[in-house]
Structure 1
Amino acid sequence: MSIFDIAVTTISGENTTLAPYKGNVLLIVNTASQCGLTPQYKGLQELYERYRDKGFTVLGFPCNQFAGQEPGSEAQIAEFCERNYGVSFPMFAKIDVNGPDTHPLYQHLKAHAPNGEEQDIEWNFGKFLLDRNGNVVKRINPRVQPEELASDIEALLQA
């Protein structure tokens, strides 16, 4: 199964897949609104604005598995992200990224990460960078700031 075939739900409740993003370089991030790393939304939005016209997309997947730092409803999350960080990149419904209810997207991402990095997601704002064919190129620690990924993104956009 391709990553583009995986069923997801948008933050507004629409059932879809990742097929609309086929051909784009993707940065998939598990997010949270009440985390010390929440200001990364600003950097993620800046990356999205800087590279979206070149075929780059950030996909945000809220998750409440880390210290309950994403307790709100999808509507509250969407409003928070837009109001505080001007988020316009695609956001999705809350999911689990670890444990028995891990969403199929995160099962896929962890299973296909380079260097056999199949371990659990460490915290909010863990990132996966994917090439235009949906291959996981890099798994990125939550503490890595979005702006630090610019050269990796540029290389994938030019590949």
Structure 2
Amino acid sequence: MRAIFLFVVMFVLFLLQGTVFQIFTPEWFGYHFDAIPHLVLIGCCFISMFAGRSTGIKYAIVFGFLLDLTSSNILGVYAFCLGLTTYLLGFLARWIHLHLVSVFLLILLAIAALEIEVYGIYFLIHKATMSFDEWLVWRLPPTLILNGCLTILLFYPLRRFLLQLVPDQTEE
């Protein structure tokens, strides 16, 4: 039953990422930088760290395809990048004690990796809309700051929920 709630939580994060955070962009307030929320990646990273790497990868690929369908013009980029990033983060998290600071740093690393992967793929197929220098100044730092704040806000509720979910996952 909690696995259904996990899907609902991830779907709510997906909806928040695609609706609320797209309305209240920095440009709406008169700023000229991009701060991209990655709530789906944050949720998948938490799942990978606290409920199992394979579960996190499954959710990353499913919600990556949903992100491709709604916010990308190339199918498969986010599914691949979210799956790869979640796998690597779950692999790293096996050797680290998962408290607030370590989870915060791991998720910031995952967000930077996802942004670099997506930019790299778009650059290779000539779909990147800004140069690497512009991207490094105007997109990556604000994205890391925004998602760092979101990670801190979501840490305790998601961790508690996922730690309660683990016994149900092992029974199946």
Asked if TM exceeds 0.5, the reply is: no
Q: TM-score per shorter chain, which class? A: 0.3 to 0.5
Structure ranking higher in helix proportion? 2
Normalising by structure 1, we get a TM-score of 0.34
Normalising by structure 2, we get a TM-score of 0.32
